[in-house]
């Protein structure tokens, strides 16, 4: 059964990856497993459903996962019969996926509010947590618009832009990070052609980036992941821009598997490779990319295609969901607090300093 979005979406659009219902009793998710064939909103009423939805990628993309987690904490506060039960529910949400640091970041932020609300009645506690989660959602959209405007200056008029995975409205509270930069450049009057690589095995590029850009009237062309090298070689790609799941203090970037390959190709062909991400994706507790836990997903995602076996039965597969691009391959990092260009421990430190 399809759920209804709230009358006003915090995403700022008529579609949204994640919203809290007007009565704070449920979370409405766009089931991204079904896109682009079906636009179905589902309603989650408890934290266990949220853990499942994050793990199974009904909602995905680092900032969107963080916002969904924050709303999941609101559901936990509604349901938990004791503070111990609340803590257990919240821990489970925080551990649903390991690589996107926005998930932990959002849960820690919500835990601080829950602690401050200790001693209040359930109704007041839920109201405070819902207000905080909505605020986190609004701030994410605002951050995307700011980094979009900053990053757009680096996208020349007439450029052909490669993007990997989906770092758009569907992966965030709204507007997008990498796609936010593209949106801002087009809103400023630039003509861009976007190439969305398909992003095997989950096809975030072919299914999600193409869906949201086509829906919003952008010039978007899907390519197979294997096609990027020859397009760079033929001079048909001017630059690449992606999002991030976690950025270490030295500027190493964890993002969807395949990002490292795109960065290598851009460097080999002397083209810029940019990353756009909110400060919530910068992780003070991770010194370098080696320390980032990379999620390993089911081999079936690689061995099968659309539910049909493609590889011989009995053959093994590995399926790391992310890879790490070394900072030296990143031409510039766009955040809501400014731009790091080049990306070094010092320039990343300056961005983080804006939070202190």
Q: Residues interacting with ligand MRU, by CB under 6 A?
A: 60-63, 100, 165, 167, 171-172, 177, 204, 242-245, 255-256, 321
Alpha-carbon distances of 293 from 36, 138, 177, 307, rounded to whole Å: 30, 28, 22, 27
Phi, psi of 110 (to 5 degrees): -70, -35
Burial of residue 215 (number of CB atoms within 10 Å: 0-12, 13-18, 19+): middle
For ligand MRU, the closer of residues 192 and 257 by Cβ is 257
For ligand MRU, the closer of residues 130 and 242 by Cβ is 242
The Cα 286–Cα 101 span in angstroms is 10
Alpha-carbon distances of 228 from 115, 186, 240, 291, rounded to whole Å: 49, 23, 10, 29
Q: Which residue, among 62, 70, 50, 60, has the nearest Cα to 111 in the 3D structure?
A: 70
Q: How far is the CB of 196 from ligand MRU (least distance, A)?
A: 12
Contact criterion met (CB below 8 Å) for 191 and 157? yes
Q: How far is the CB of 121 from ligand MRU (least distance, A)?
A: 36
For ligand MRU, the closer of residues 6 and 320 by Cβ is 320
Contact criterion met (CB below 8 Å) for 101 and 246? yes
Q: How far is the CB of 316 from ligand MRU (least distance, A)?
A: 21
Q: Which two tokens stand for residue 107?
A: 């849960």
Question: What SS3 class is residue 217?
Answer: coil
Q: How far is the CB of 191 from ligand MRU (least distance, A)?
A: 24
For ligand MRU, the closer of residues 86 and 168 by Cβ is 168
Q: Select which of 24, 225, 245, 283 is catalytic.
A: 245
Annotated catalytic, 245? yes
Q: Which residue, among 116, 28, 122, 129, has the nearest Cα to 80 in the 3D structure?
A: 122
Q: How far is the CB of 171 from ligand MRU (least distance, A)?
A: 3
Alpha-carbon distances of 28 from 24, 31, 81, 140, rounded to whole Å: 10, 9, 23, 18
Which residues are annotated as catalytic? 245
């Amino acid at each position: 059964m399809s759920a209804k979005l709230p009358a006003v979406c915090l995403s700022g659009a008529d579609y949204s990856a994640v919203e809290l219902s007007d009565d704070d009793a449920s979370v409405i998710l766009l089931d991204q497993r079904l896109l682009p064939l079906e636009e179905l909103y589902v309603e989650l009423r408890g934290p266990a459903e949220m853990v499942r939805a994050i793990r199974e990628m009904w909602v995905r993309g680092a900032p969107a996962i963080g916002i969904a987690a924050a709303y999941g904490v609101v559901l936990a506060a509604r349901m938990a019969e004791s503070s111990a039960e609340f803590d257990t529910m919240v821990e489970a949400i925080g551990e649903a996926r390991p690589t996107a640091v926005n998930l932990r970041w959002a849960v820690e932020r919500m835990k601080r509010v829950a602690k401050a609300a200790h001693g209040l009645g359930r109704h007041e506690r839920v109201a405070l947590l819902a207000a905080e989660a909505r605020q986190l959602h609004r701030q994410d959209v605002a951050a995307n618009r700011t980094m979009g405007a900053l990053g757009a200056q680096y996208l020349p008029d007439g450029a052909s832009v490669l993007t990997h995975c989906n770092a758009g409205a569907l992966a965030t509270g709204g507007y997008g990070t990498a796609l936010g930069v593209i949106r801002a450049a087009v809103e400023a009057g630039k003509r861009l052609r976007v190439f969305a690589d398909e992003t095997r095995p989950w096809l975030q590029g072919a299914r999600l980036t193409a869906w949201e850009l086509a829906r919003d009237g952008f010039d978007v062309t899907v390519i197979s992941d294997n096609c990027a090298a020859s397009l760079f070689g033929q001079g048909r790609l001017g630059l690449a821009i992606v999002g991030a799941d976690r950025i270490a203090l030295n500027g190493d970037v964890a993002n969807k598997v395949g990002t490292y390959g795109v960065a290598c190709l851009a460097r080999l062909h002397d083209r810029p490779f940019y990353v756009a991400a909110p400060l919530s994706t910068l992780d003070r507790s991770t010194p370098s990319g080696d320390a980032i836990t990379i999620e390993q997903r089911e081999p079936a995602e690689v061995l099968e295609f659309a539910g049909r076996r493609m590889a011989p039965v009995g053959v093994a597969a590995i399926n790391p969901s992310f890879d790490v691009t070394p900072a030296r391959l990143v031409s510039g990092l766009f955040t809501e607090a400014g731009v790091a260009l080049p990306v070094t421990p010092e320039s990343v430190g300056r961005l983080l300093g804006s939070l202190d």
